[in-house]
Structure 1
């Protein structure tokens, strides 16, 4: 398998091809029920915005979510409700930084909320000031979340949002640009103290140390459940896969097995100029022949 710019493509007939497993039609139908792996929607592209939730309690998040259900052609369009968040603790600019003249700053996070509304993982994507990361991280761990729902069923989501801090308090908002760092440098003229690395910035391409093929049921292939699935994720300083998610057009059954397999992968720890970093990456899987 060859990595380039943080992206991974399956080698022909090798890594990235799924393992075939037998599964009865009844079991396959059960596997299509929610919840499963998250589905990806990028800000600036197609977005799914929760409705009916007060904006103070739940800003319009850019979501990553998984829909597991029957064919959309057989049922009416389902209703999606965004995950909710109650900000029980508001992060503040540390007193030392206030004394040094800092008046505002921001930290962007990606968080995973499971189908029970529990915060399962989070990553700092960017921060205007490194000293703001700790108070924001501590606050997030004390927030309360409500699960997202798809047609009434609870589903896991990945949420990307920004904490904007000022002398008067904090405002939590959905990230409205794909690269906050570019926004800071272009509009505010303020370089970031911290951001995750891009694939073309690390010292050497990522190398997979442990690969796990998705458990693809032979019955799924017979029923025509096939295609190409791309999993988007982060690799942290230890080489662990974090916050995997899939693109919106992915079949729900395939998205679930692809994400579960991706969580088991292990990579060489990424570095940038000799320092451990977190990097964004992707991996493609092909099920039942050529991807769609």
Structure 2
């Protein structure tokens, strides 16, 4: 859909979370979207029932950047939510580093919302999402998507993957209980077809995946898509000699 205005991150768009005085969003409510769109919006974007979050996968911030600084600052995204509830980034402020921007876009592309409605029918609209980009520990699986969630994993951030035993040394192959498929974004360069993206990640003693990294980069958006989905995987605890251990997982993804 084409709109006759510039898609910039504008404060007039409803936000996905409310602010407190410090603007620290880690404890804020996600499902806090304006009930109605502003009256001065273009008709094509107006709604009388707001969109609602359905599926939100946690954002995987680049480990290489977080090793330099535990906080990557703030960003503000303009999200386009279409009539099917698919989400894409239409504008961005902050997150100027290319791999960081690619990581945010890769995460948002996997999100699913219940679309906004106008007169009882699904409609396309825009939302802004403010973010604080830093490592954060959380006490449960109720992970806040605005920040890199590193429950039990912050201590592993500076661990070199090649110093860990590979999963092939375990008592038995890893057993996944959550492993969404890695989806490669549309490739416009025919020369990339057939190339392999090699990635690695740390699997902790509980089976959580932490700090995925690209070994052989191909293209920023493709690399980011691989890292994002790899970071969502969960396994049963990896065992060696009958005891839970931290292990290195390597994954190869071939571009179709």
TM-score (norm 1): 0.34
Q: Which has the higher contact order (CA 8 A, sep 6+)?
A: 1
Structure holding more strand per residue: 1
